[in-house]
A and B are shown apart, each in its own frame.
Chain A
Amino acid sequence: MPVNVLIIDDSAVMRKILERSVRQARMQIGNVVEASDGVEALKRLGEAGDGIGLIFCDVNMPNMDGLEFLKQVKDADFRKVPVVMVTTEGTEAKVMQALSLGAAGYIRKPFTAEQMQEVLGRLFP
């Protein structure tokens, strides 16, 4: 069954690259919904109800950053939706912080097609 995806990044180009990468990862993707920050993403999630099955979220964004979005999602009705954090910062501390907040995965930019497939394969075996 196709999975609807929410992609959150303040860069429109990065949102397009992420969508292309997810679609190329041999996974059945339904609709892709975009948001440019955490505030807009929460709104999109509310509109979509339980229709979103996977979230990719940038960490460093204006208004509401990715970690704050992650906290709010995990406290809300969408806590079961897997959130994969996407960031340029790959230090162990950042990874541990995201995972401790409930992130299902972590992918560092720049990423290869194989890295994207590995993350998706783990979440949707």
Chain B
Amino acid sequence: MTDQEVYQAIQESTNAVFTTMLHLEISPKQPGEETDPQPLNGVMALLGFTGEWVGTGILYCREQFACRLGSAMLMTEITEVTNDVLDGVGEMANMVMGNVKDRLEPLVGTLAMSIPTVVYGRNFHTRTTAQPKWWVYPFGVGPDSFEIRLCLTHKKTP
């Protein structure tokens, strides 16, 4: 599995979910790798993958865009991070990662996916023990932005 294949899977999946579900046009930015995640502020939805390959997929955004997502999904104005907003970000992550999973399975074999967990806070770190390298794909949506992050590594045999 090449970096390009991963980036393509993320871009196509993210674009499909945002345009179909929310009718939001997104602008892909320059993707890259991250090995030393910096402290973050905002909302992060995480889903685990397991199979021959294991890892984690993340949708990360700031509070303002999380509220915009929640507002678009529920068709109502939301100005603060509520449970509905966290639920909405989790569901968007679920849909994006479900699509990514379908696109990567021909390359990495069958993957099972967890239900989403959503974290909201300030100055928090993420760390994974399985794989230090994250693929990070930033997207712009008008004045806002969000990131899709993925780490996936081949499971070591005992």
Co-complex (A, B): yes
Q: Does B90 contact A (CB under 8 A)?
A: yes
Count of CB-CB pairs between chains A and B under 8 Å: 55
Closest-CB distance, A7 to chain B (whole angstroms): 14
Specify which chain B residues have a CB less than 8 angstroms from the CB of A111 in the assembled complex: 20
Closest-CB distance, A28 to chain B (whole angstroms): 22
Also in contact, A88 and B90, with CB within 8 A (given A10-B115, A12-B84): no
**Number of A residues, CB within 8 Å of B:** 20
Specify which chain B residues have a CB less than 8 angstroms from the CB of A91 in the assembled complex: 102, 105
Bound Cα distance A16, B74 (Å): 7
A87 in contact with B98 (CB, 8 Å): yes
Closest-CB distance, B135 to chain A (whole angstroms): 19
- Interface residue from A12, A14, A60, A110 paired with B113 (Cβ < 8 Å): A60
**Chain A residue nearest to B20 in the complex (CB):** A110
Bound Cα distance A61, B75 (Å): 25
A13 in contact with B98 (CB, 8 Å): no
Specify which chain A residues have a CB less than 8 angstroms from the CB of B88 in the assembled complex: 13
**Chain A residue nearest to B86 in the complex (CB):** A13
B84 in contact with A13 (CB, 8 Å): yes
Does more than half of chain A's interface fall in helix, strand or loop, or is it mixed? loop
With most chain A CB atoms within 10 A of its CB, the pick from B17, B75, B94, B105 is B94
Q: Does B99 contact A (CB under 8 A)?
A: yes
Question: Which residues from 1 to 45 on chain B have a C-beta closer than 8 Å to any C-beta of chain A?
Answer: 16-17, 20-21
B94 in contact with A11 (CB, 8 Å): yes
Closest-CB distance, A117 to chain B (whole angstroms): 15
Q: Does B101 contact A (CB under 8 A)?
A: yes
Closest-CB distance, A10 to chain B (whole angstroms): 6
With most chain A CB atoms within 10 A of its CB, the pick from B17, B75, B99 is B99
B101 in contact with A11 (CB, 8 Å): no
Closest-CB distance, B46 to chain A (whole angstroms): 14
Q: Does B70 contact A (CB under 8 A)?
A: yes
Bound Cα distance A88, B102 (Å): 9
Residues of B at the A interface (CB closer than 8 Å) are: 16-17, 20-21, 70, 73-75, 83-84, 87-88, 90-91, 94-95, 97-99, 101-102, 105, 113, 115
**Top 6 A-B pairs, shortest CB-CB distance:** A88-B98, A110-B21, A110-B20, A13-B87, A13-B88, A11-B91
Residues of A at the B interface (CB closer than 8 Å) are: 10-14, 16-17, 20, 60-62, 87-91, 109-112
Query: Can you report 12 residue pairs joining A to B where beta carbons are below 8 Å apart?
Result: A11-B87, A13-B88, A61-B115, A88-B95, A88-B98, A89-B101, A90-B98, A90-B102, A109-B94, A109-B98, A110-B20, A111-B20
